Structures are given as structure tokens and as C-alpha cells.
Amino acid sequence: MRNTVRQELVARQLDEQIAARFPVGQRLRVLDVGMGQGTQALRLARAGHSVTGLESDAEMLSSARESLAREPEGIRERFRLIEGDGRDTGVHFLPGSFDVVLCHGVLMYVPEPDPMLAGLARMLAPGGLLSLLVRNADALAMRPGLDGDFGAALAAFDTDTYRNRLGLDVRADRLDALRATLAGIAAPLHAWYGVRVFTDNVSNEAELPGPEELAKVFAAEDKAGRTDPYRGIAALLHLCGVRG
């Protein structure tokens, strides 16, 4: 449920931003940094865009290759996979090479994100879209609080680090700090959304409901992710910056 909601909401929000910035039917040059299994990258390739996926994890890269191998030839031809670190985009690509750069679920593993973000912004052509999905540091108390772990909830108010469900100690980001960073790297924040307001505490093993009920989940999450004050307490923030 949690990953399904994340991918659905991010897809809706990303499509909305792309439609607002680029002519209908334009084949965009997309870079997905830390693409994981390639869910969003493959979806955009199916929509006709030219996609490059950059991934440093060998297991994730193998999974993405297997998924790509099952796609029709036309999609495979416009999809490129590269093994590499998102902090080294300048090694692989020239500045201004892409219309859209995605960096979803990556910054929490980067101790000092500002240099990486500056590198991602340099990859964008003028008017290009930078899409970031980050853990919301201003809502770190929500998950333990709703689980009834009030000691952990109290501690979460004074930190921007947390232990994720993989057991890894990682970091979260604050909206105001990222807003300032994006302004400083010439890709100021254009729009932002909350992702997983209501479903963040659902068990990883929870089965998806039927289509009718799932549509209601998506609708409620979509509405909350666009509405104050709900979006401010979402587990994840989806930020969209535009290259000046």
C-alpha cells in the first residue's frame, strides 16, 4: 500500500507539472537519478520520452534491466541505463542535457545534499523541471506518535534523522531549507505536494484493497497532498523546482 500510494501520487503530480511546462506531445529528455527499480522512469518512457536512469546499487540496476527487457523494442530503444552515483552527474553528462531531472527517495541517504542538488540543477536546460521526493523532517514525530511510541515522537521534534523501515539511519529534509537551496542553485521552488498523509503507518505486508476502495485512497491522498495543513504533515514531500 505505502509504495503504491507513493508511486501513484508522484506520477499524478509529476504529470501535472510536465503538462504545465511543456507542449503536449513534446518528447522530453528525462534523467532519473537513483531510479531504483525504475517505476517512474519506465512510466515516462512508455509515455514517449527519452529516459536515462542512473543507479549505483547493482541489485536495483539488475531489477531495472529485467523490467526493461520485458518492454517493447520501441521503449527499450529510448531508455538508457547507467551505473553511477547521483553525486557525479557531471562525470556522465554535459550541463543542460535534460528537460526533466528526477531524484526520488535519494536525498535521505546523502549526508550533504546541497552539492548534489547543485549538480542536478546544472543538468537541466533552461526552463527544465527538477523533481525531488524527500522525507519530511517537519513530520518525523507523526509515524512514532501514531504508533503509540510517544518517547520516540518527542525525540523526533528535535532531530532531522530517523531509522527507516530497512533499519538504516538516514536523514530528512525541511521544506524551508530546501526552498532556500533551490533558490540558490537557480532552480527555485515552483510547486510542492505532500505524499502519504494517511497511509504512512500502514504495514508493509498490508494487501491492497479492491479497485473501488483503492480509488478512494488515491483520491483522499491526492486531495490531502495539495491541501494545507494536511500536506505539511505528510511523510514525504514532493518538490518541483524550475531552472531559471
| pLDDT for residue 145 is more than 90 | yes
Q: Which three cell numbers stand for residue 220?
A: 483522499
Question: What pLDDT is attached to residue 165?
Answer: 79
| pLDDT for residue 167 is more than 90 | no
DSSP for residue 170: E
By DSSP bridging, strand 124-135 and strand 236-242 are: antiparallel
Single out the residue of 234, 134, 113, 236 nearest to residue 181, CA to CA.
113
Which residues does residue 200 pair with via DSSP β-bridges, in sequence order? none
pLDDT tens digits for range 60-96: 999 999 999 999 999 999 999 999 999 999 999 999 9
C-alpha–C-alpha distance, residues 242 and 244, integer Å: 6
Largest CA distance in the chain: 53
C-alpha–C-alpha distance, residues 101 and 119, integer Å: 11
pLDDT tens digits for range 181-236: 999 999 999 999 999 999 999 987 888 999 999 999 999 999 999 999 999 999 99
Question: Could you tell me the CA-to-CA distances from 67 to 27, 41, 43, 54, 61 in Å, in that order?
Answer: 22, 11, 11, 15, 10
Question: What pLDDT is attached to residue 124?
Answer: 98
What lies within 8 Å, CB to CB, of 21 at 6+ separation is 127, 129, 242
pLDDT tens digits for range 105-137: 999 999 999 999 999 999 999 999 999 999 999
- Report the predicted TM-score, pTM, of the whole model to 2 decimal places: 0.95
3-state secondary structure (DSSP) of residue 131? strand
C-alpha–C-alpha distance, residues 70 and 91, integer Å: 30
What lies within 8 Å, CB to CB, of 77 at 6+ separation is none
Question: What pLDDT is attached to residue 168?
Answer: 86
Question: What pLDDT is attached to residue 227?
Answer: 98
Question: What pLDDT is attached to residue 122?
Answer: 97
How many other C-beta atoms lie within 10 A of the C-beta of residue 189? 18
For the chain, count helices (H), then strands (E): 10, 9
